[in-house]
Amino acid sequence: MAEMVAGDRRWWLYRKAMVVLWVSASVGIWVGLHWYIRRVSMRKAEESLVSMCEERARMLQDQFAVSVNHVHALAILVSTFHYQKHPPALDQETFADYTARTAFERPLLSGVAYAQRVVHSERELFESQQGWMIKTMKREPSPVQDEYAPVIYSQETISYIEALDMMSGEEDRENILRARATGKAVLTSPFRLLGSNHLGVVLTFPVYRSGLPADAMVEERVEATAGYLGGAFDVESLVENLLRQLAGNQDIMVNVYDVTNASEPLVMYGSQFPDGYMSFSHVSMLDFGDPFRRHQMECRYSNKPPIPLSAITTPSGVFVICMLAGYILYAAWNRYDNVKEDCRKMEELKKQAEAADVAKSQFLATVSHEIRTPMNGVLGMLDMLLDTNLNLTQKDYAQTAQVCGKALISLINEVLDRAKIEAGKLEIESVPFDLRSILDDVISLFSAKSREKGIELAVYVSDRVPEILMGDPGRFRQIITNLVGNSVKFTERGHIFVQVHLAEHSNTITEAKVETGLNGHSGEAKIISTGTAFDTLSGLEAADCRNSWENFKMVLSHEQTLPTSSGMPNDNYADKVTLMVTVEDTGIGIPFHAQNRVFTPFMQADSSTSRNYGGTGIGLSISKCLVELMGGQINFVSRPHVGSTFTFTAVLQRCDKSAGSDAKRALSEVLPTCFGGTRAILVDRRPVRGAVTRYHLQRLGISVECVSTINEVPNAIQGQNGCLRSGTHSKQPCILLIEHDSWDTKADVCLCNQLIQWKENGRIIEIPKVVLLVTSESDKTKAGSDVDIVIMKPLRASTVAACFQQVLGIGKQQTRDRPKGSASLSGLLDGKNILVVDDNKVNLRVAAGVLKKYGANVECAESGKDALSLLQLPHKFDACFMDVQMPEMDGFEATRQIRLMESKATEKNRIGPAPEEGSLKTAWHLPILAMTADVIQATYEECLKCGMDGYVSKPFEEAQLYQAVAEFLVSDS
């Protein structure tokens, strides 16, 4: 037993000795590592100080040299416009205005001034010309001396030195004499600047008359001296700005000295008595361009470099790891259990957050719906108020309130769309629509703004794209409107270009031709063409180099070699069509740091975007969701100050032959056919823009020949062999279209005279009509008497057709365009008997007031039961506007009852004897239009399911009301 105790005691002593030995060794390692790391750290701190000091000295010299060059350039400007122009083209007002507007180029100068050299014999004449007396720096009349240097031009910030003799001070006089003798910039010793009280120096540059050789002698330089240009450098601000730009400026102290007199250095920046950690310091010499003055920068740490944390943590870590290895294993296992529990809790929190998000979306949709109902009354009453007799102030107030209300409705629609997307309730419909008509409408929507800014706004749709497609026209229009609206908002010059191609054709060409990244990181490819810097719509650079004329031309030629869409194999119209839509602009672009959040809801590039341009930042987010619902993708290429190019794809369905032909007649904008065989010559030096114009003209059946200048027009009218293109070979062009930037009055007068001479000689039958294409109202002034008509852009086929009919006198346009506006609605509704059913009296008054405005006879009912009473057969009504949500009997049930009643009457007439004249109709069907603030797809489907014919969302406008009633009342009008 005693031996066991002794053995345990020895084991305990041995273990204790081992622990002490291990701890002692660990402490030794700790001390050795600590001193080694500390020594390395101090060496790096010294090297870092040298590097930072040299870097600051180099940047200070560079910035000073840039400012000296600007002052030198200003001296040359004074010499050129004051002494080489007779009379001089420079005066105090011009000098002050120029220096103030270019002050941003000289941020280090508090001001610049020009002093003219005046010898004593010319003093009296000079003072009489200037209207003031030459004064000393103390504002006293300057005493008699050989020559003077009075300030005649000064920047507004230092206008107080005007008329002061810069040679009245001893040091200033020496600097001026030294500057004109050497021809170089000369600096003064540091002194306190007036106003800022900062230390600064004055830079003096001689201004010579022209003709002075570069190797002129001192006497020649003195003789050629005309004056002196001086600028005050704020050295303290210069160094402060430099240190603020550089990281780590708070760690070191910087002093700048003028050491021209080494025994008495003058402080230019920093404290008179240096402080900080003096053990480490470094001196860098500065060269400011004045060989007679020497400057230097002294850098030191503000505090003693701290002991690096690694000098403590590394040794301590080794010690702790060895001692607590077992504890770490235990802690790791314990941590694993904790992480598992945390993951379980996070899953529960995620489910709660998703449920809260769905509840939020549902709440948002409900609140948005409830807001639309009273807003219908507000906007409706404002619209009715504007139809009354108001004075200008009242009308302005009402119109402002109406604009604000419409903006609120637009925001509510966007928020509601976002809520429906998040709740998974947004559905895409599939109905026939005319893509080209939608694009024309969107372009027309922004035409006024584009003309106001003077930017090119154009659309091009490939011939390969079918005329009628199956899809959701409203959502497609919403995407295009969002993208074009953003481009118009952020573009002040250049162009906005919308292109639509088949994705498979466009990708084949562009991917083979140009490889580029997205979101601005592209290959900086630039294509130079004759006459313009870039082959784009406006001649300005576009963000995506794939949208060049070369690629555009290859896409066009590739499409022409493919079979037409109507002649595809097996006429498989059920195939899907993938469109690639590109919206290109030359606006401000998107900063690189903001490009990764472009599609994030309610996010913009920075806080100033909403302030300067408006908007909520939700449009692109909604567009991305809509594109994805259409089976496509959206991306963009953007470069700041160059522009942005948004591209998205959409998967649509082809329309079968029978449905397609019917839909084309009903949906398409029917263009006149009277231009078949007409030839036109287009003068446009930009090939992309010429292709767009050709696209609109070819839609009218006009064949187009493009030339780049006015001088090529006669060759286009004549054959290559000199024979006129007349007779049986080809038809003479009857239209000459000229772009505004190709219009040259002199050349055009010569062309017109030549054509008149040809007509008199019988070489041509008629002189072509001259049409000028302009982008803004200001361009109309270019049109002279030789222009037959001016067409304002953006181009739309129907507008171009109307202008051509006017200038050619062909006749009125025979189209079946659905007219828009008050006159069209009046023609549809005048004399019609309309029943309006709504339980909200305000909305009832609004709807009745709007319909009465267009000549309709309106009766109102406040419930579904009242509507059934009024619609007992026979009745006099031509249409019924039915609210959906009403007490007792809602609009759905009321419609079902009406349709049941009509079907019974129709069946009775079908199996009974033929009705006599003036009796019941053989078939009853009253057009019933739903009228509600709920704009979700499910409500629309329920409206059609119960027997309603259409849908009008509150608040409704003229265009929406016309679209709803035209289908049912157009035949009666």
pLDDT digits (tens, 9 = 90+) for 125-140: 888 888 889 888 888 8
> Would you place residue 602 in the very low, low, confident or very high pLDDT band (cuts 50, 70, 90)?
low
Looking at 820-829, 886-895, 929-938, which range is the least confident one?
A: 820-829
pLDDT in tens, 257-266: 888 888 888 8
* Residue 726 contacts residue 732 (beta carbons within 8 Å): yes
Looking at 156-170, 725-739, 954-968, which range is the least confident one?
A: 725-739
Strands 252-258 and 295-301: antiparallel
Neighbours of 22 (CB within 10 A): 13
Name residue, tokens 């079908």: 910
Neighbours of 710 (CB within 10 A): 18
Name residue, tokens 């229009």: 477
* Residue 845 contacts residue 378 (beta carbons within 8 Å): no
Asked if pLDDT for residue 727 goes beyond 50, the answer is no
> Would you place residue 562 in the very low, low, confident or very high pLDDT band (cuts 50, 70, 90)?
low
Torsion over CA: 168, 118, 120, 135 (sign): negative
Mean pLDDT across 853-873: 88
| 16/759 Cα distance (integer angstroms) | 123
668 vs 568: which has the higher pLDDT? 668
Tell me which residue of 704, 881, 700, 713 sits closest to 786, measured CA to CA.
Answer: 713
* Residue 598 contacts residue 615 (beta carbons within 8 Å): no
Count of alpha carbons within 13 Å of 412, Cβ hemisphere only?
25
* Residue 863 contacts residue 889 (beta carbons within 8 Å): yes
- Residue 794: is the preceding peptide bond cis (ω within 30°)? yes
Strand order in the sheet with 789-792: 703-707, 679-683, 735-739, 769-774, 789-792
Q: Is the pTM of this model over 0.85?
A: no
What is the secondary structure of 599-656 as a DSSP string? Answer: TSTT--SSHHHHHHH---S-HHHHHHHHHHHTT--EEEEEETTTEEEEEEEEEEEEPP
How is residue 200 written in tokens?
Answer: 């600064």
User: Phi first, then psi: what are they for 322, rounded to 5°?
Assistant: -65, -40
> Would you place residue 634 in the very low, low, confident or very high pLDDT band (cuts 50, 70, 90)?
very high
487 vs 809: which has the higher pLDDT? 487
pLDDT in tens, 826-860: 777 888 889 999 888 888 888 888 888 888 889 99
Asked if pLDDT for residue 563 goes beyond 60, the answer is no
How is residue 115 written in tokens?
Answer: 């002093």
> Residue 260 burial by CB count (10 A; 0-12/13-18/19+): exposed, middle or buried?
middle
Torsion over CA: 116, 121, 126, 127 (sign): positive
C-alpha distances (whole Å) from 109 to each of 63, 266, 289 are: 11, 20, 16
C-alpha distances (whole Å) from 343 to each of 91, 335, 336, 338, 339 are: 77, 12, 11, 9, 6
Please report, as a single letter, which amino acid is at residue 19: V
> Would you place residue 733 in the very low, low, confident or very high pLDDT band (cuts 50, 70, 90)?
low
How is residue 766 written in tokens?
Answer: 């008629």
* Residue 570 contacts residue 563 (beta carbons within 8 Å): no
Q: For residue 501, what are the β-bridge partners?
A: 580
pLDDT at position 517 is 40
Asked if pLDDT for residue 520 goes beyond 50, the answer is no
Asked if pLDDT for residue 410 goes beyond 80, the answer is no
Buried b (16+ CB within 10 A) or exposed e, 648-672: bbbebbbbeeeebeebbeebbbebb
Asked if pLDDT for residue 397 goes beyond 80, the answer is yes
**Residue ranges, CATH 1.10.287.130, the chain:** 349-423
416 vs 867: which has the higher pLDDT? 867
**Residue ranges, CATH 3.30.565.10, the chain:** 431-509+538-557+575-604+616-668
User: Phi first, then psi: what are they for 29, rounded to 5°?
Assistant: -60, -40
Tell me which residue of 868, 824, 503 sits closest to 652, measured CA to CA.
Answer: 503
Asked if pLDDT for residue 333 goes beyond 70, the answer is no
pLDDT at position 770 is 85
pLDDT in tens, 426-439: 778 888 888 998 89
How is residue 931 written in tokens?
Answer: 């009228």
- Spell out the alpha helix ranges (H) of 796-936: 797-808, 822-829, 841-853, 864-870, 891-911
Contacts of 36 (CB under 8 A, 6+ apart): none
Contacts of 595 (CB under 8 A, 6+ apart): 519, 520, 636, 638
CATH code linked to domain 825-910+922-970: 3.40.50.2300
Neighbours of 814 (CB within 10 A): 12
Q: For residue 208, what are the β-bridge partners?
A: 225
| 538/533 Cα distance (integer angstroms) | 10
Query: What's the whole-number average pLDDT of the chain?
Result: 78
Tell me which residue of 190, 184, 219, 218 sits closest to 202, measured CA to CA.
Answer: 190
Which long-range contacts does 266-273 make (Cβ < 8 Å, 24+ apart)? 266/189, 266/190, 267/190, 267/199, 268/190, 268/199, 268/201, 268/235, 268/236, 268/295, 269/199, 269/235, 269/236, 269/239
> Would you place residue 731 in the very low, low, confident or very high pLDDT band (cuts 50, 70, 90)?
low
Q: For residue 579, what are the β-bridge partners?
A: 502, 650
Mean pLDDT across 935-957: 73
| 755/115 Cα distance (integer angstroms) | 62
Asked if pLDDT for residue 512 goes beyond 60, the answer is no
Asked if pLDDT for residue 251 goes beyond 80, the answer is no
754 vs 649: which has the higher pLDDT? 649
518 vs 354: which has the higher pLDDT? 354
Mean pLDDT across 809-814: 58
Looking at 365-374, 490-499, 657-666, 889-898, which range is the least confident one?
A: 657-666
**Residue ranges, CATH 3.40.50.2300, the chain:** 679-718+731-808, 825-910+922-970
Contacts of 495 (CB under 8 A, 6+ apart): 455, 456, 457, 458, 536, 537, 538, 540, 584, 585, 586
Q: Does domain 679-718+731-808 fall into CATH 3.40.50.2300? A: yes
pLDDT in tens, 687-696: 888 899 998 8
How is residue 549 written in tokens?
Answer: 């004329």
Asked if pLDDT for residue 406 goes beyond 60, the answer is yes
| 67/52 Cα distance (integer angstroms) | 23
DSSP, collapsed to helix, strand or coil, labels residue 67 as: helix
Tell me which residue of 117, 135, 116, 108 sits closest to 231, measured CA to CA.
Answer: 108
**Residue ranges, CATH 3.30.450.350, the chain:** 61-301
| 650/502 Cα distance (integer angstroms) | 10
How is residue 838 written in tokens?
Answer: 């709504």
Beta strands in 699-844, from DSSP E residues, in sequence order: 703-707, 735-739, 769-774, 789-792, 833-837
Best-predicted range by mean pLDDT among 57-71, 298-312, 639-653, 656-670?
Answer: 639-653
Neighbours of 551 (CB within 10 A): 20
Tell me which residue of 765, 754, 676, 760 sits closest to 715, measured CA to CA.
Answer: 754
> Would you place residue 647 in the very low, low, confident or very high pLDDT band (cuts 50, 70, 90)?
very high
| 842/955 Cα distance (integer angstroms) | 12
How is residue 484 written in tokens?
Answer: 């074009």
How is residue 239 written in tokens?
Answer: 């160094």
pLDDT at position 514 is 39
C-alpha distances (whole Å) from 400 to each of 61, 387, 390, 445, 815 are: 57, 15, 14, 20, 37
| 930/940 Cα distance (integer angstroms) | 9
* Residue 547 contacts residue 584 (beta carbons within 8 Å): yes
Q: Which architecture does CATH list for 431-509+538-557+575-604+616-668?
A: 2-Layer Sandwich (3.30)
CATH code linked to domain 349-423: 1.10.287.130
> Would you place residue 722 in the very low, low, confident or very high pLDDT band (cuts 50, 70, 90)?
very low
Asked if pLDDT for residue 41 goes beyond 90, the answer is no
DSSP, collapsed to helix, strand or coil, labels residue 899 as: helix
Neighbours of 939 (CB within 10 A): 18
Beta strands in 664-753, from DSSP E residues, in sequence order: 679-683, 703-707, 735-739
Query: Fold for domain 61-301?
Result: Beta-Lactamase (3.30.450)
Count of alpha carbons within 13 Å of 949, Cβ hemisphere only?
17
Whole-number percent of the chain with pLDDT over 70: 80
C-alpha distances (whole Å) from 22 to each of 13, 16, 156, 315, 818 are: 14, 10, 78, 14, 97
Looking at 4-8, 162-166, 775-779, which range is the least confident one?
A: 4-8
Could you give the dihedral angle defined by the CA atoms of residues 834, 835, 838 and 839, in that order, rounded to the nearest 10 degrees?
140
> Would you place residue 644 in the very low, low, confident or very high pLDDT band (cuts 50, 70, 90)?
very high
How remote is the C-alpha of 114 from its chain's centroid?
Answer: 43
pLDDT in tens, 53-86: 888 888 888 888 888 888 888 888 888 887 877 7
Name residue, tokens 């909520």: 616
Please report, as a single letter, which amino acid is at residue 397: Y
Radius of gyration of the chain (CA): 41
Tell me which residue of 619, 584, 569 sits closest to 599, measured CA to CA.
Answer: 619
